Amino acid sequence: MQAQNPLLDIIKDQISKKGPISVEKYMELCLYHPDYGYYMTRDPIGANGDFITSPEISQLFGEMLGIFIGQILLDNDDSL
């Protein structure tokens, strides 16, 4: 038998006391509950997390974005 998740008990308790909950409330509990929420119990960003954003890896993304925007400005405005 699988161990019960305390957050599941909290969600079930809220539903039994107040009736159905919205998807918004469900996600709020799953992600931000002070003791059991996903983002409250771990750091999901970074090498040991679930994902790494481009700025954490290198500055190349920002440089390429700057070049792209600069080129658009040059292409659309002869006064630059």
pLDDT (0 to 100) of residue 43: 75
In a domain, 70, yes or no: no
Total domains in the fold of the chain:
1
Do 7 and 36 contact (CB within 8 A), yes or no?
yes
The whole-number pLDDT of residue 36 equals 93
DSSP of 34-67, one letter per residue? TTT-HHHHS--BSTTSSB--HHHH-SHHHHHHHH
- Residue 64: C-alpha distances to residues 10, 49, 52, 56, 70 (Å): 46, 25, 18, 15, 10
pLDDT digits (tens, 9 = 90+) for 12-67: 999 999 999 999 999 999 999 999 998 888 777 766 777 666 666 678 878 889 99
pTM over 0.85: no
Residue 65 in any domain: the answer is: no
Q: Which residues constitute the domain of residue 29?
A: 1-41
Residue 13 within a domain = yes
What is the average pLDDT across 64-78? 89
Which comes out higher in pLDDT, residue 58 or 73?
73
Q: Is residue 26 part of a domain?
A: yes
In a domain, 16, yes or no: yes
Domain-embedded: residue 76: no
Is residue 27 one of the residues assigned to a domain? yes
Closest Cα partner for 11 from 28, 32, 29, 38?
A: 29
State yes or no: pLDDT of 79 exceeds 70: no
The answer to whether position 17 is within a domain reads yes
